């Protein structure tokens, strides 16, 4: 049976400090109850949560259920080891050592570098740096994709930090995103005959629109596309922008070249073809 930390088990209470994605001037403390954990956790921890009343005025009162993404390096699946990397279990001492190094300006680490296996603090810096970048990528992507929010990507309601259970001795405060819940199956798990061509074409239009708005997803796969509603899908939602590339200072020509090099609409067409999903017309 998969071990699930008590703070992520159904019924667990979570405290969050949140700012609205639309207006981040005011931070509010919000209490939530975990309804479900979407395991196994790979990078961020993805939870279905219910916001406890009173619902703050920066969240929709009509819907108290949300997706909470927690960017806590403690629970990364990569820690268990891979074919090319030994296991790197979390320890408070190594995490705090890495945090103290950052505080003294000793952070010369890039997330693409792999530390030596014996460098426990180096691995904590590696994991911390990667999750910080993923959080930044997602928040930046949702900001760029505001015209698509609620239509073909989830709504970004709030961002902030997880309030660690007391007594907390950690120097790392995990970042969080609060998103709308899309209660539908993934593209991979749906019988192709249930997906109308107009839904598939709408998905391709979404991928093109993302590029025009300045976002390359960079992790397009069937698990990152959800179909809603579950019984008769009429819309496809693209999720999980942690690996995305967001346009910064590129000129129009430079960005057009980047879009052409990645050609995500073509990649999505190939994925639909492989799944035998009709997108003609």
According to DSSP, the residues that pair with 180 across neighbouring strands are 66
Q: Measured between alpha carbons, how far is 49 from 69 in angstroms, rounded to an integer?
A: 10
pLDDT at 73 over 60: yes
Read off the pLDDT band of 117 (50, 70, 90): confident
More confident of the two residues 101 and 161: 161
For residues 13 and 31, the answer to whether their CB atoms sit within 8 Å is yes
Query: Backbone dihedral region of 268: left (phi > 0), alpha (psi from -120 to 50 degrees) or beta?
Result: alpha
- Is residue 3 pLDDT above 70, yes or no? no
CATH 1.10.510.10 fits 187-274, yes or no: yes
- Which tokens hold the place of 236? 């496809």
The residues pairing with 158 across neighbouring beta strands, listed in sequence order, are 20, 178
Name every residue whose Cβ is closer than 8 Å to that of residue 81 and which is 6 or more positions away in sequence. Answer: 87, 88
Output b/e per residue, 228-239; b: 16+ Cβ within 10 A.
Answer: beeeebebbbbb
Segment 140-192, tens digit of pLDDT: 999 999 999 999 999 999 999 999 887 778 999 999 999 999 988 999 899 99
Q: Are 170 and 164 in contact (CB under 8 A)?
A: yes
HSE-CB of 185 using CA atoms within 13 angstroms: 12
Phi-psi region for residue 44, left (φ > 0), alpha (ψ -120 to 50) or beta? beta
Q: Does pLDDT of 58 surpass 50? A: yes
Please report the sign of the dihedral spanned by the C-alpha atoms of residue 109, residue 114, residue 120, residue 124: positive
Residues of the chain within CATH 1.10.510.10 domain(s) are 187-274
Which pLDDT does position 45 carry in this prediction?
95
Query: CA 162, CA 147: separation in Å to the nearest integer?
Result: 28
pLDDT above 50 (res 1): no
210-251, pLDDT tens digit by residue?
999 999 999 999 999 999 988 888 999 999 999 999 999 999
pTM (two decimals)? 0.92
DSSP 8-state secondary structure symbol assigned to residue 9? S
Q: Could you tell me what percent of the chain has a pLDDT over 70? A: 94
Asked whether residue 27 carries a pLDDT value surpassing 50, the answer given is: yes
């Amino acid at each position: 049976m998969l071990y699930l930390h008590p703070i992520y088990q159904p019924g667990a209470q979570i405290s969050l400090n949140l700012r609205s994605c639309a207006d981040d001037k005011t931070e509010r403390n919000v209490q939530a109850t975990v309804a479900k954990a979407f395991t196994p956790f790979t990078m961020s921890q993805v939870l279905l949560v219910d916001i406890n009343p009173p619902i703050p005025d920066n969240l929709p009162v009509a819907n108290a259920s949300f997706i909470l993404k927690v960017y806590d390096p403690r629970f990364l699946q990569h820690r268990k080891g891979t074919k090319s990397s030994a296991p790197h279990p979390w320890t408070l001492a190594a995490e705090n050592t890495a945090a103290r190094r950052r505080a003294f300006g000793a952070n010369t680490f890039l997330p693409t570098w792999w530390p030596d296996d014996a460098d426990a603090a180096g691995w904590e810096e590696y994991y911390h740096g990667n999750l910080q970048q993923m959080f930044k990528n997602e928040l930046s992507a949702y900001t760029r994709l505001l015209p698509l929010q609620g239509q073909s990507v989830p709504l970004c309601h709030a961002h902030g930090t997880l309030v660690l259970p007391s007594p907390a001795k950690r120097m790392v405060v995990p970042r969080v995103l609060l998103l709308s819940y899309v209660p539908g199956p993934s593209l991979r798990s749906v019988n192709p005959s249930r997906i109308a061509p107009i839904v598939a074409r709408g998905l391709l239009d979404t991928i093109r629109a993302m590029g025009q708005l300045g976002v390359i997803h960079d992790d397009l796969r069937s698990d990152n596309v959800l179909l809603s509603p579950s019984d008769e899908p009429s819309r496809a939602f693209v999720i999980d922008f942690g690996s995305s590339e967001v346009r910064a200072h590129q000129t129009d020509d430079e960005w057009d070249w980047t879009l052409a090099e990645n050609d995500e609409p073509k990649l999505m067409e190939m994925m639909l073809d492989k799944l035998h999903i009709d997108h003609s017309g």
